Structure 1
Amino acid sequence: MKAVGIRNGKGNADALFIEDNVPDPVASSGRVVVAIKAFGLNRMDIMQREDKYPYPLLPESGKILGVEFSGLVEDVGPDCVSGFKIGDKVFGLAYGGAYAQKISVSEKTLLPLPETLSFETAAGIPETYFTAIQAIHLVGGLQPRETVLIHAGASGVGQAAIQVARQGGARKIITTAGTDEKCALCRELGADVAVNYRNEDFAKVVERELEGKGVNLIIDLVGQSYWHRNTACAAMEARIVLVAAMSGSMVEGFNLRALLNKRLWVLATTLRTRDVEYQAKLRDRFVEVALEHLSTGRMRVALDRVYSWTQIAEAHKRMEANVNAGKLVCLVDS
């Protein structure tokens, strides 16, 4: 098969190329081989491409990039019990390997594709929605009528988090984003307030909007540069869920008193290194919380651009520039 390779094993976006004669994956016990129609791009792909991943990946991640995809079932391995058949339209989550014509994945992280969703839309769902549901429900424990602050609201995870929080009964949702266009997208998706962080201090906006009471749940993908303002605008006994650290992970002037004075909970979570049983549980929660809403249009994925996978370098450059307002997806079209 063909797959996206990286010249010399690591490099910039121009090091990406379509590689021929890559070994086909196998449908071993409990696994399904999918002929990929589309795959989603995520910022973790940049770190892996550059060989700068912040923690060791599991062996099953492999060398091929990509963790979310859609396509057609090509083969079903022995001992599979989920009922998938050759030719079924599916989408799902993987530890790696989605930048390719074919992938072998556990049946436990695969889902049937609703007729109302296209391959390109579905390819942008799994990583973002699974991560958002994990952060808001499994880790953050959102309760009805609580207030939520979501950073990087126009990112794939941020978009999903806004909609998951709204569906979960949040009383007020405040987001941050870097352009007026991205802020408008956040409001379209259900945010009550969207703060352009280049023009306003989000902590002051939270104080104003919540009348000095602070926010109950903070979903943070930014990290270091937001830490002090996060603790400043958090409510008593608020939860801060760290999903990523795009601005860095070392916090200067860290003072434990900021946590003690408000009895704050700080929780950190990752998804890619969770075992398959945890990811299966998360898949089931996704079905419960979001799948029907996505199939009927009550929830959605905003696609920024859809590329041919032959334009993978261009797609990575757009992602690195952080100008996309929505998901970037590639079609496996050759």
Structure 2
Amino acid sequence: MKKILLSTLVLLLVFSCKDNKGKAPAKFLQDSSGNINHVSVILENDLWNGRIGDAIRDVLTKPIYGLPQDEPMFTLSQIPPQVFSGFVTKNRTILKIEMGKDANIEFKEDQYAKPQKVVVLSGKSREDIIGLIKENADKITEIFRNTEIAERQRQMAKSPHKFEQIKEKLGLTMAFSSIYEIAKERDNFFWFRKNITTGHSHFMIYDLPYDAIKRNDSTIVQIIKIRDSLGKQYFKGRLDGNVNADGTKISSYMITEDAYTPFHGETIIDNKPAFETKGIWELTNDFMGGAFVNYTIEDKVNKRWVGVEGFVFAPSVEKRNYMLELEAIIKSIKID
């Protein structure tokens, strides 16, 4: 009788641990952690200090284009496999090297925590691993960067803004934190800013007539001309309007620094084709400047272009994380 009761209890426990479709519930995962743009590299010390480590650093710590000073794409922390346990497994982005196996690359999601991306590189030799790193460099960096953008969007969503006039006037929505304050608003133009440790961070949203930009060899010139005209109209320097000793009036406004060639490419934003432009801005007749990222989105349905740009003034500090936040805001755009 006791055996029957025990068997019945075991069966009840088994079935209670399954959902209505007879499937076992997903395992409980703790929240992931880690600073923005920080990757844990699981690798033996001797390999980290050798050619494999060099190959990893060449890919993940290459300088970010479009910043005034060289800053690495990611900050790396190397962890030997024998101590990779407990809280150190909860980092949001992990690159794991496994020697003694067939050459292979795996992209795993939420393996130790959530949200989490784990890239596992396997190989029987150093050459196997180095080859996989070089062949998959773009994919690895894209996965880690998209993970960080999603994390920053998740963090900002905890305190969302309430500027409904963006949707009312431009027919689009963007997700950003309520810490951003509106600096200027026109019928089809919005400029937001927030104070940061040593300066301020900005982004602007606007739309343009469909014939304002044409796809040809001079597209980037057209985009730079537009952003410079907006800078002259809206973003004045501290000295603008002051009078020189000779009686002439000072004109100071934001322009694109012509000594630094902007990056220009094409991408997809909100499932729409877009031009991406990154470079350095400066103020005429002043000593302020910084990085900017501009996306000009083709909105074919509404016969227009939507411009979204983020830029930072943050002297003497790293700008990488500030620029990632602005990119996260821009990439949250949803056009009606």
User: Do the structures match in fold with TM over 0.5?
Assistant: no
Q: Which has the greater radius of gyration?
A: 2
Could you say which structure has the higher strand fraction? 2
Could you say which structure has the higher helix fraction? 1
Query: TM-score when scaled to structure 1?
Result: 0.26
